[in-house]
Amino acid sequence: MPNAILALYYGWRGRPDIIYSSQVGDGHICIPLCVGIYALYHTLAVPAFFQTGVIVLLAATAVHFLFVMLFGQLPRLVGFALIGAYGWFLYHGLPR
């Protein structure tokens, strides 16, 4: 939640550079660290949709990298499409 507040604040201030660095830091440091610490003490089962999740993550990374490399930013419409794809992934991937 604190990371979301930070992203909203700097989004309103027009500072996408801070939002990108914050999200990358959270995704590459905090999440694997928490999962890794948990895995040291407990057996961690890999869910059935793990491979699909990795493919979706790599595709989103490639799309993001391509647009930032070509245009210097992620167009708003593409951002909305990535958010929609994430919502679709959550809807179909989370257990019911």
Based on the fold, state whether residues 38 and 52 are members of the same structural domain: no
Based on the fold, state whether residues 71 and 60 are members of the same structural domain: yes
Based on the fold, state whether residues 52 and 93 are members of the same structural domain: yes
Based on the fold, state whether residues 37 and 51 are members of the same structural domain: no
pLDDT number for residue 1: 60
- Give the residue from 14, 29, 44 where a domain finishes: 44
Could you count the other beta carbons within 10 Å of the beta carbon of residue 15?
A: 14
List the domain range (segments joined by +) for residue 82. Answer: 46-96
Asked whether the whole model's pTM tops 0.95, one would answer no
43-58 pLDDT, tens digit each:
888 887 788 888 888 9
Based on the fold, state whether residues 52 and 39 are members of the same structural domain: no
Q: How many domains does the chain have?
A: 2
Contacts of 75 (CB under 8 A, 6+ apart): 67
Is the pLDDT reported for residue 9 higher than 80? yes
What is the helix (H) or strand (E) element at residue 74, kind and residue range?
none
Average pLDDT over residues 61-88: 93
